[in-house]
Amino acid sequence: MRITGGFLKGRKIQFPPGELRPAMDRMRESVFSILQGELPGASFLDLFCGSGIMGIEAYSRGASRVVFVEKDLRKRSTLLRNIALLEGKGILHIMPVERYLRFGKEDPFHLVFLDPPFPYRFRHDLLKLLDHSALIKEGSLVLIHHPKEDPLPEQVGLLALEQRRSYGRSIVSFYRRNASMIDASMIDRKTRK
């Protein structure tokens, strides 16, 4: 697997052991083409990171800080070797993503990429967890890679769907955190308490 763009373009990434579904080159190039205006100086969270290719690609294309989360301990040594390309600008957490979303302590991220295994059935719940976490802020962009057969809603809490891109039998859905979407009646109810 190779990095497709940025100052690390062409560098090889090692493939870790265990179950892995690497992001297709075509999909990565398309996603990062869409993100090109948002990447410079942004913080990037790579959830279910596998080999780390998405976070490394983000750094190569201008992200200033990248955090990787992967629960499979067998991938740790390969991930650490791959993340070494970030010259100290990457942090790896070996833990379940759900736990990280509940207890992660990093500053909020500008960009979040979720790539759960295709058999994973709790994507909507993941988006809810992320929406309620302190790991994103107003304007954060959340991307989730999922099978076409598992459609996601247009809105999850304050996360509003901006676009969907299709890549073979998979889709990447782009959600933006937008606090202005809070229903006025919700605000009114809170102020009455």
Note the pLDDT of residue 185: 32
Kindly indicate the confidence band of residue 16, based on its pLDDT and cuts at 50, 70 and 90. confident
Note the pLDDT of residue 190: 46
- Specify whether the CB–CB gap between 114 and 145 falls below 8 A: yes
For the ranges 27-41, 78-92, 144-158, 167-181, the lowest mean pLDDT is seen at 167-181
What is the Cα–Cα distance from 127 to 104, expressed in whole angstroms?
15
Note the pLDDT of residue 15: 84
- Specify whether the CB–CB gap between 63 and 44 falls below 8 A: yes
Single pTM value for the model: 0.90
Note the pLDDT of residue 23: 58
Q: 35: how many CB neighbours lie within 10 A of its CB?
A: 22
Note the pLDDT of residue 26: 85
Quick: pLDDT tens for 121-159. 899 999 999 999 999 999 999 999 999 999 899 999 999
Structure tokens at 76: 């740790």
Quick: pLDDT tens for 51-60. 999 999 999 9
Note the pLDDT of residue 3: 93
Give me the architecture of the 25-192 domain, per CATH. Answer: 3-Layer(aba) Sandwich (3.40)
CA dihedral 162, 167, 169, 170 (to 10 degrees): -40
Closest CA to 171 of 191, 192, 152: 152
